[in-house]
């Protein structure tokens, strides 16, 4: 399916940021492990988050869907799934549920689509072994499908922090239901805000987490069910904010909280540095812009999902934009450094690919690009269309994280058509 974006200017109005994908994943999984019933209010209903919901069901947890998700917690007493668990394209579900699978008896098999089966898992598999879990790659290459034998008892382990913060979050989420866990993070600790989000949700569900000198400690504890409201998603809101910055206008984005722990809130600082006006409230942000942007130098070490957004804004800006600190973006749905660079070159942009980022000389023209099956590329490249016109092939992948993306963009005046 193609998404055609026409030149659009003077965007205006108010729009609500969609619920956070990251918080929805964590809330439904932790609620599934809790004692009692939880109401997950305003969850993101998208392919990725439904993978987490259905994975919880595979372990025998009852989840009733409606305006809110009602999760009847298992208290950590999980059933062995009666079939292979298929997770689609959700790398977050794969990583978080691998440790959770260690709480069930017998064997669990986790797999997904072709893209998911390229996601590295060996550091997590190695870190689970000292905690009593036998987990391995079915093809013995460190990639899914993953086979997990129950037996998570706790103890001490270490894990590299430079591949995926989701590995750390995975162990922490399962840790309270053991004899206690100590996790030492080795080397560079990338995407730390995502672990902060995990700790935030764990503490909301009554489980404290201690962190000092590079080591997390979780004592045996009980998650308690509660009513939990999912906050707005800064990752998805980056396309709304970026649209105003690129096309010009004045737009209010609701459901974005000033005190959020999401690392992707840095997008507001970035577009401000590029020339947009950003005014922050307690639960909203107002963006105003003339559409004239200047290149910037940014480190996205803690916000790798912003790479496509910042890259396309750099392609529309005057001067040079340098993006660094995101070597780990090569291990997302695609090698995002390589795919972003390739598609920008289709539009006449001068791009130098670096091991951990890229250098972009502004000057994009219109044309046709491909999503590579990556939802963030599909959405980010619409921003170029607002200035130059663009067609994005295989664009329907936006439904992975932002199912009503076109509708919300058109709500503020973006001209686009899905066909």
Record the tokens describing residue 393, joined without a space.
């092939």
For residues 50 and 345, what is the distance between their CA atoms, to the nearest angstrom? 35
Q: What is the predicted pLDDT for the residue at 278?
A: 98
For residues 251 and 240, what is the distance between their CA atoms, to the nearest angstrom? 9
What are the residues whose beta carbons fall under 8 Å from the beta carbon of 328, sequence distance 6 or more? 162, 163, 164, 190, 191, 304
For residues 411 and 16, what is the distance between their CA atoms, to the nearest angstrom? 10
Catalytic residues: 305
Q: At 336, is the secondary structure helix, strand, or coil?
A: helix
Q: At 370, is the secondary structure helix, strand, or coil?
A: strand
Q: What is the predicted pLDDT for the residue at 9?
A: 86
Record the tokens describing residue 277, joined without a space.
């006006």
pLDDT along the chain (419 residues), means of 10: 95 97 98 98 97 98 96 97 97 98 97 95 98 97 97 97 94 98 94 96 98 97 98 97 98 97 97 98 98 98 96 98 95 93 98 97 96 97 98 96 97 96
For residues 60 and 77, what is the distance between their CA atoms, to the nearest angstrom? 9
Q: What is the predicted pLDDT for the residue at 197?
A: 97
Contact 228, 200 (CB under 8 A): no
Within 301-381, where are the H helices?
Answer: 307-316, 336-346, 375-380
Q: What is the predicted pLDDT for the residue at 333?
A: 86
Domains and CATH numbers, the chain: 3-18+232-418 (3.65.10.10), 21-229 (3.65.10.10)
What are the residues whose beta carbons fall under 8 Å from the beta carbon of 186, sequence distance 6 or more? 158, 159, 160, 161
Secondary structure, 3-state, 216-267? EEECCCCCECCEEECCECHHHHHHHHHHHHHHCEEEEEECCCCCCCCHHHHH
Phi-psi region of 44 (alpha: psi -120 to 50; beta: other; left: phi over 0): beta
Q: The dihedral of CA 337, 200, 398, 122: what is its sign? A: positive
Q: What is the predicted pLDDT for the residue at 84?
A: 98
Cα Rg of the chain (Å, integer):
21
DSSP annotation string for 18-68? PBPHHHHHHHHHHHHHSBSEEEEES---SHHHHHHHHHHHHTT-EEE-SSE
Q: At 202, is the secondary structure helix, strand, or coil?
A: helix
Per residue in 106-154, pLDDT (tens digit) is 999 999 999 999 999 999 999 999 999 999 999 999 999 999 999 999 9
Per residue in 20-39, pLDDT (tens digit) is 999 999 999 999 999 999 99
Which residue has 């780990």 as its token pair?
328
| Inter-helix orientation angle 336-346/307-316, to 10° | 30
This prediction's pTM:
0.92
Q: Which residues pair with 85 in a beta bridge?
A: 110
């Amino acid at each position: 399916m193609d998404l055609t974006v026409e030149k659009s200017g003077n965007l205006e109005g108010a729009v609500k940021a969609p619920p956070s994908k990251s918080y929805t994943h964590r809330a439904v999984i932790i609620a599934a492990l809790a004692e009692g019933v939880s109401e997950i209010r305003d969850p993101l209903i998208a392919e990725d988050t439904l993978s987490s919901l259905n994975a919880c069901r595979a372990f025998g947890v009852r989840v009733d869907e409606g305006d809110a998700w009602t999760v009847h917690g298992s208290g950590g007493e999980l059933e062995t799934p009666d079939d292979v668990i298929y997770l689609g394209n959700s790398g977050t579900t794969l990583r978080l549920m691998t440790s959770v699978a260690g709480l069930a008896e017998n064997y669990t098999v986790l797999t997904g689509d072709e893209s998911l089966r390229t996601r590295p898992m060996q550091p997590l598999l190695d870190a689970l072994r000292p905690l009593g879990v036998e987990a391995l790659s079915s093809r013995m290459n460190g990639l899914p499908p993953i086979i997990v034998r129950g037996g998570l008892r706790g103890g001490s382990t270490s894990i590299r922090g430079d591949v995926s913060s989701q590995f750390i979050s995975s162990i922490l989420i399962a840790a309270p239901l053991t004899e206690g866990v100590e996790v030492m993070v080795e080397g560079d600790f990338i995407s730390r805000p995502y672990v902060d989000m995990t700790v935030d949700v764990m503490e909301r569900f009554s489980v404290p987490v201690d962190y000092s000198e590079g080591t997390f400690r979780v004592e045996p504890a009980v998650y308690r069910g509660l009513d939990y409201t999912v906050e707005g998603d800064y990752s998805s809101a980056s396309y709304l904010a970026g649209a105003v910055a690129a096309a010009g206008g004045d737009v209010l984005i609701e459901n974005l909280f000033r005190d959020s722990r999401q690392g992707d809130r840095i997008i507001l600082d970035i577009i401000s540095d590029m020339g947009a006006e950003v005014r922050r409230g307690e639960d909203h942000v107002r963006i105003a812009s003339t559409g004239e942007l200047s290149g910037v130098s940014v480190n996205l070490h803690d916000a790798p999902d912003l790479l496509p957004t910042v890259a396309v804004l750099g392609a529309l800006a005057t001067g040079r934009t340098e993006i660094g600190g995101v070597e780990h973006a090569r291990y997302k749905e695609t090698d995002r450094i390589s795919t972003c660079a390739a598609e920008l070159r289709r539009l006449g942009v001068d791009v130098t690919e670096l091991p951990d980022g890229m250098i972009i000389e502004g000057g994009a023209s219109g044309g046709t690009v491909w999503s590579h099956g990556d939802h963030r590329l599909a959405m980010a490249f619409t921003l170029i269309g607002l200035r130059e016109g663009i067609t994005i092939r295989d664009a329907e992948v936006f439904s992975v994280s932002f199912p009503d993306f076109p509708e919300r963009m058109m709500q503020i005046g973006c001209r686009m058509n899905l066909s």
